[in-house]
Structure 1
Amino acid sequence: MQKLASAFIFLFLIGLTKVFGQEVPKELENIISPQVNPDQTVTFRFFAPKADSVQISSDFLPPIKVMSRFGLVDGPGKIALTKDKNGLWTYTSKALASELYSYSFLVDGIKTNDPNSPYALRNGASLTNIFIIGNGIADLYKTTDVAHGTLVHSWYPSSGLKTNRRISIYTPAGYEQSTDKYPVLYLLHGAGGDEESWAAHGRAIQILDNLIAQGKAKPMIVVMPNGNVAQDAGYGYGRDGFYKPEFLLPRSMNGEYEANFMDIVTYVEKNFRVKANKANRAIAGLSMGGFHTMHISRYFPNTFDYVGLFSAALMEREDATGKVYSQIDQTLKTQKDNGLKLYWIAIGKDDFLYKANVDFRKKLDDLGMKYEYVETEEGHIWKNWRIYLSQFAPRLFR
C-alpha cells in the first residue's frame, strides 16, 4: 500500500511538471491569501491558469453604483489582478485603514470566494470573505486577551406569533460566577440578516468584551433576536432546514414583530438575571432593525430609556398596515413625555436612507423630542454599524 501511495505521488508530481514545463513552483505549494503585510497593505492571490481575467471586489476599493430594489446604491469596487507565468494572479492593495473588510473574487466574471481563506460570512444569499486590519478601531473587533463573555443560542416561546423562536444572547464575563443583575441591550439586525448577524458581521461579542474590559462600557446582557416573522430561526437553524435565502422575507415589516416584541422581553427577564426596569433596558437596530426599534420603543413607550437608530429604514411602506403603525406622532409624544435618557440617531452621508432620516429628525424637532445625531462618511454598510455600536454601547446605563 505504501509503495502504491509513493508511486501515485510521483506520477502526480510528474504530471504537474508537464503542465508547467518545470518543477512545481514554490509559490504554488502554499498560497497565502489574503496576506496582511507589515505596512498594512494586503496581498491577494488566486490560482487560475486558464482564466482570462481575475478581479477582486471589496469594500476597501472606491465604491461603484449598483442597482437594487431601492434604486442606485453603493456597492463594493473592483480591480484586476495580475497573472504570472504559472497562472497565479496577484494584487496588492495600498495601505489600508484599521477596519474589518469583506471581499470576493470575479473569475471571468463569475463571483467566487477565496479558496485559500476559510474566513467568510453570509448575509442573505451572499457569502464573502473577510479580513481585519488592526492598529485602530478594528482592534475592538478582534478576540483579545481579556475576560470573555458567553454567547448562547436558545429558544423563546412567542404566544403572539404562535411558535418557538431562536435567539442569540450574550452574557458578560463573570455572569455565571456572580449573583448580580445586569442591564439589557436588545440589538436588532437588518433585512437579509437573522439572529446570527450581529455576532458575525457586527462583531458584537468582541466589541462588548473589549469595551467592558477597558472600562468603557458597563457589563450588560445583549439580546439579538430574529426579526423575520416568517422564520422560527435563521437559515439552516430552523424547522425549514436548508433553503435559498431571501433578502426581505414576508411579514418582516408589517407590524407583527413589533407588536409581539414583549414576548422576548418577558423571556429574557424570566430566564436571566436582569434589572427589569426602563432605566436598565436599551434597544437599537440597523436598517430594518432601526425601523423595528423606532416602532417598538414608541409602541411600548415606557419600556426603554435608551434608543439607538443605526441607518434606520424610516421611510413609509405599503406593507406597514399593522396597528403598530397607527398614531405615530401621538405615541412618540407619549414616549417623550415619559422621559428618555438617550435617543441616538446615526447615519452615513451617502446612505440611500439619508433623506428618510432627515425627515424623521424634523418630525422629532416638531414634537420637541430631544435626540443626539451622528453623521458619518459612506453609506449603508456594516463598517458604519460596527462603529455605531462601538459608540452607542459606552453611552448606556450610566
Structure 2
Amino acid sequence: MRFAGFLTMLLLVAPGMQAQELAQQTPVVSPELAADNSVTFRIKAPDAAEVKLTGNWMPVAPDGQGGFAQQMVSLEKGGDGVWAATVPAMDPELYAYAFMVDGVRTLDPANKHIVRDGRFSTASVLYVPGEASDLYWAKKGPKGSVHEVWYESPTLGLTRRMFVYTPPGYAESNANYPVLYLLHGGGGDEEAWPTLGAAPNIIDNLINAGKAKPMLVVMTNGNPDQAAAFTVSPKLDTESQGAGGMANMLFEKSLVNDVIPYIEAHYQVATGKENRALTGLSMGGLQTMNTSFENPGMFDYIGVMSMGFADLSRFGINIDHSKREAQIKALGAADPDLYWIACGKDDFLYESVVTMREQLDALDFDYTYRESPGGHTWSNWRIYLSEFAPMLFK
C-alpha cells in the first residue's frame, strides 16, 4: 500500500515537474527581425551535424552538374543545441524560407506562418515591413471577400474550382464592376495568387488608397488536367482527369467559353472589353498572350509577366510564325487600351521577352514595357500586380 501511494504521488507530481522544466527553458525565437532589418533565424536541433538556411531571396548559381541550385547560408550551433544565423539587412518584402537539417528540408518550428509554393514545396514565411511591402499586409480599412467557387467547364469536361475576389462594399452595392482575370504560373494552381501573391490584400489596399478602381479578381486553375489544387479534401476521384497539358490550349478556350460567361452570369459585373483585364505570370503569361491573340476584341487591358516569345518545343508547343504575325496585327487593330509587358533583368526568360519586343516593334505594335531587377520570383510578380492594377479601367 505504501508503494502504491508513493507511485500515485509520483504520477501526480511528475507532470508538474516536467511542466516546470519546460517553463524554465528559453523559447526559441525565429525569425527575429532587428531594427536595422537584419534577421536572425534559429532552430533547436541538438543532434544535428549540419544546418543550413535556404530562402527565395538567395541567388541561384551553377550546381556543378549542368544545372542550377539555390545558394544557402550555414548556421552555427550554440551550447544549448540551438543553431543560428543572422542575415544582413533585408529589403521590405514577403519571403519564404526553410532549414536544411542534415540535408532534410524542415520548416521553422518557431514560426506558425507557412505558405505553399507549387505542388511540392511548403515554406515558412517572413514579412519584413516597409514601404515596398506595405500593400501585401492586411491593414485597417474596408475588406473585400474571397469566394471559393465551383463551376462547370464543358470545354475541359470538369467541375472546376476558382477563387473570386469581390471588392469592399460589393454585397451592399447595385453597381456593376469590371473584372481582372489573374493567372498563375507553372507548378501553381488557383491557390497561388490568393496566398503567395497576396492579391486580395494588394487590391484591398490599392482600392482603399484610391489608387485602383473597385474590381472583381478571378483566380482560376490554369492546368487543364486539374479540377482543383491537390489540397482539396476529400480528394477528387482522379488527380489527372485527362484534359492534357498546356500545349493543347484548352485552358485558354475554357477561360473564354466557360469562366468569363460564368462570372458575367453570376456576379454584378460590367461587360464589354473595356471592363475586362487579363494578366498572368510565366505559364499564365503565355496563356495571356494566347488568349489575347486568339480573341483580339475581348480585353482592353492585357499584362504579360515574365514571359515572351520563348522556344517551348520541349513542351510540345510549336509556333506558327505567320499565324502569330497575323494575330498580332489583328490585336493591334482591336486597339486595346493597354498591352503591358514586365520582366526581371535576371529572369531566365528575359531573352524571350527581348525577342518578343523586337517582333512587336517590327510590326509597330503599341505596348508598354516594365523592366525590373531580379528574376523569376514572386517578389517581382507582386510588384507587377501592384503596378498593373492601378492602370486598369480608366
Aligned 1:325-340 pairs, distance under 5 A: 327-340=323-336
Give the distance between the partners of 2:357 and 2:79, measured in 1 at CA: 58
Aligned partner of 2:270 in structure 1 is: 275
Give the distance between the partners of 2:238 and 2:50, measured in 1 at CA: 32
2:14 to 8, 28, 33: 8
Give the superposition deviation at 1:252. 2.5
Give the superposition deviation at 1:62. 4.0
Aligned partner of 1:55 in structure 2 is: 52
Gaps of 5+ in 1: 17-23
Query: What code does the residue aligned with 1:132 have?
Result: Y
TM-score (norm 1): 0.89
Give the superposition deviation at 1:313. 5.6
Aligned partner of 1:39 in structure 2 is: 36
2:204 to 180, 196, 209: 209
**Is residue 2:216 matched to residue 1:224?**
no
Aligned 1:1-398 pairs, distance under 5 A: 6-9=12-15, 12=18, 26=24, 28-65=25-62, 72=67, 76-123=70-117, 124-237=119-232, 240-241=235-236, 250-262=244-256, 263-312=258-307, 314-318=309-313, 319-320=315-316, 327-398=323-394
Q: Let me know the Cα RMSD of the aligned residues.
A: 2.7
4+ aligned runs moved over 6 Å, structure 1: 242-245, 322-326
Give the distance between the partners of 1:87 and 1:244, measured in 2 at CA: 42
Deviates more, 1:261-270 or 1:109-118: 109-118
Give the distance between the partners of 1:12 and 1:326, measured in 2 at CA: 75
Deviations for 1:295-339, whole angstroms, at most 9, x for unmatched residues?
Answer: 001111100001101102642323456999982221121111011
Query: What code does the residue aligned with 2:211 have?
Result: K
DSSP-derived class of the 2:328 partner: helix
Give the superposition deviation at 1:209. 0.5
Q: Contact conserved, 1:295 with 1:325, CA < 8 A, in 2?
A: no
Deviates more, 1:34-43 or 1:277-286: 34-43
Q: 1:66 to 1:374 in 2, by over 3 A?
A: farther
Give the superposition deviation at 1:384. 0.5
Give the superposition deviation at 1:210. 0.5
Q: 1:4 to 1:195 in 2, by over 3 A?
A: farther
Give the distance between the partners of 1:144 and 1:380, measured in 2 at CA: 28
Give the distance between the partners of 2:235 and 2:362, measured in 1 at CA: 46
Give the superposition deviation at 1:199. 0.6
DSSP-derived class of the 1:327 partner: helix
Deviations for 1:361-386, whole angstroms, at most 9, x for unmatched residues?
Answer: 11111111111111111111110000
Query: What code does the residue aligned with 1:186 have?
Result: Y
Query: What code does the residue aligned with 1:348 have?
Result: G
Give the distance between the partners of 1:90 and 1:373, measured in 2 at CA: 42
Give the distance between the partners of 1:35 and 1:64, measured in 2 at CA: 27
DSSP-derived class of the 2:262 partner: helix
Residue correspondences, number = 383
Deviations for 1:152-172, whole angstroms, at most 9, x for unmatched residues?
Answer: 010121111122110111000
Give the distance between the partners of 2:134 and 2:11, measured in 1 at CA: 46
Q: 1:93 to 1:194 in 2, by over 3 A?
A: same
DSSP-derived class of the 1:260 partner: helix
Deviations for 1:13-44, whole angstroms, at most 9, x for unmatched residues?
Answer: 79x7xxxxxxx795x44222112223222121
TM-score (norm 2): 0.90
